[in-house]
Amino acid sequence: MPKIVTEADRQLKRQVILDAAAHEIARIGYDRANINTIAEQAGIGRGTIYLYFKSKEEVLEVLLDSVGQLINEVIQQSIEQHGTWQYRLELLAQTFMELASDHRDYLRVHVSALHGVNRPIGAPVARWLKTTVSHLAFAFERAAERGQIRTSDPFTLALLVLAMLESFVLLPEVLDLPIHEAVARSAFMAEVLWGGIRPLHTP
Amino acid sequence: MPKIVTEADRQLKRQVILDAAAHEIARIGYDRANINTIAEQAGIGRGTIYLYFKSKEEVLEVLLDSVGQLINEVIQQSIEQHGTWQYRLELLAQTFMELASDHRDYLRVHVSALHGVNRPIGAPVARWLKTTVSHLAFAFERAAERGQIRTSDPFTLALLVLAMLESFVLLPEVLDLPIHEAVARSAFMAEVLWGGIRPLHTP
Amino acid sequence: MPKIVTEADRQLKRQVILDAAAHEIARIGYDRANINTIAEQAGIGRGTIYLYFKSKEEVLEVLLDSVGQLINEVIQQSIEQHGTWQYRLELLAQTFMELASDHRDYLRVHVSALHGVNRPIGAPVARWLKTTVSHLAFAFERAAERGQIRTSDPFTLALLVLAMLESFVLLPEVLDLPIHEAVARSAFMAEVLWGGIRPLHTP
Amino acid sequence: MPKIVTEADRQLKRQVILDAAAHEIARIGYDRANINTIAEQAGIGRGTIYLYFKSKEEVLEVLLDSVGQLINEVIQQSIEQHGTWQYRLELLAQTFMELASDHRDYLRVHVSALHGVNRPIGAPVARWLKTTVSHLAFAFERAAERGQIRTSDPFTLALLVLAMLESFVLLPEVLDLPIHEAVARSAFMAEVLWGGIRPLHTP
DNA sequence: AATGAATGAGCTTTCATTCAT
DNA sequence: AATGAATGAAAGCTCATTCAT
Q: Which ranges constitute the DSSP H helices of chain B?
A: 7-28, 35-42, 49-52, 56-79, 85-102, 104-115, 123-145, 154-167, 171-175, 179-197
Nearest C-alpha neighbor of B24 from the set B5, B1, B49:
B49
Which among C129, C153, C167 has the least Cβ separation from residue D174? C129
pLDDT higher than threshold 60 for residue B98? yes
Which among C26, C167, C196 has the least Cβ separation from residue D163? C167
**D99 close to C (CB below 8 A):** no
User: B33-65: per-residue pLDDT in tens?
Assistant: 999 999 999 999 999 999 999 999 999 999 999
Nucleotide nearest to D31 (CA to C1'): F11
- Judge: C163–D162 Cβ closer than 8 Å, yes or no: no
User: C114-124: per-residue pLDDT in tens?
Assistant: 988 766 678 88
Backbone dihedral angles phi then psi of residue C168, each to the nearest 5 degrees: -70, -15
Nucleotide nearest to A33 (CA to C1'): E11
As a three-state string, the secondary structure of A40-58 is HHHCCCHHHHHHHCCCHHH
User: C78-93: per-residue pLDDT in tens?
Assistant: 999 999 999 999 999 9
Q: Which pLDDT score is estimated for C73?
A: 97
Q: Which residues 130-189 of D are in CB contact (within 8 Å) with C? A: 130, 133, 151-153, 155-157, 159-160, 162-164, 166-167, 170-171, 173-175, 185, 188-189
pLDDT higher than threshold 60 for residue A40? yes
Q: Which residues 16-45 of B are in CB contact (within 8 Å) with A? A: 25-29, 31-32
Q: Are D42 and D17 in contact (CB under 8 A)?
A: yes
In sequence order, the 6+-apart residues with CB closer than 8 A to the CB of D88 are D78, D79, D81
In sequence order, the 6+-apart residues with CB closer than 8 A to the CB of C41 are C20, C23, C24
User: A146-181: per-residue pLDDT in tens?
Assistant: 999 999 999 999 999 998 899 888 877 777 788 778
Measure, in angstroms, how far nucleotide E20 C1' is from residue A105 CA: 34
What is the average pLDDT across A46-56? 97
Q: Which pLDDT score is estimated for B202?
A: 61
Q: Which pLDDT score is estimated for D179?
A: 76
**A197 close to B (CB below 8 A):** yes
Measure, in angstroms, how far nucleotide F15 C1' is from residue A168 CA: 36
Q: For residue B1, what pLDDT band results from cuts at 50, 70 and 90?
A: very low
pLDDT higher than threshold 90 for residue D13? yes
User: C153-169: per-residue pLDDT in tens?
Assistant: 999 999 999 988 998 88
User: D124-163: per-residue pLDDT in tens?
Assistant: 898 899 999 999 999 999 999 999 999 999 999 999 999 8
Nearest C-alpha neighbor of C30 from the set C54, C63, C71, C52:
C63
Instruction: Please state whether at least 3 CB pairs lie below 8 Å between chains B and C.
Output: no
What is the average pLDDT across D5-14? 90
What is the average pLDDT across B10-21? 96
The protein residue nearest nucleotide E18, judged by CA to C1', is C47
Which of B11-25, C6-20, D70-84, D176-190 has the weakest average pLDDT? D176-190
Nearest chain D residue to C192, by CA = D196
Which of D89, D106, D160, D176 should be substituted to probe chain C, the one whose Cβ sees the most C Cβ atoms within 10 Å?
Answer: D160
**A114 close to B (CB below 8 A):** yes
Q: For residue A69, what pLDDT band results from cuts at 50, 70 and 90?
A: very high
Which of B74-78, D156-160, D165-169 has the weakest average pLDDT? D165-169
Measure, in angstroms, how far nucleotide E2 C1' is from residue B62 CA: 22
pTM higher than 0.75: yes
User: A89-143: per-residue pLDDT in tens?
Assistant: 999 999 999 999 899 999 999 999 998 886 667 888 988 999 999 999 999 999 9
Mean pLDDT score of chain C: 91
User: C44-59: per-residue pLDDT in tens?
Assistant: 999 999 999 999 999 9
pLDDT higher than threshold 80 for residue B155? yes
Measure, in angstroms, how far nucleotide F15 C1' is from residue B33 CA: 10
Other C-beta atoms within 10 Å of B50: how many? 15
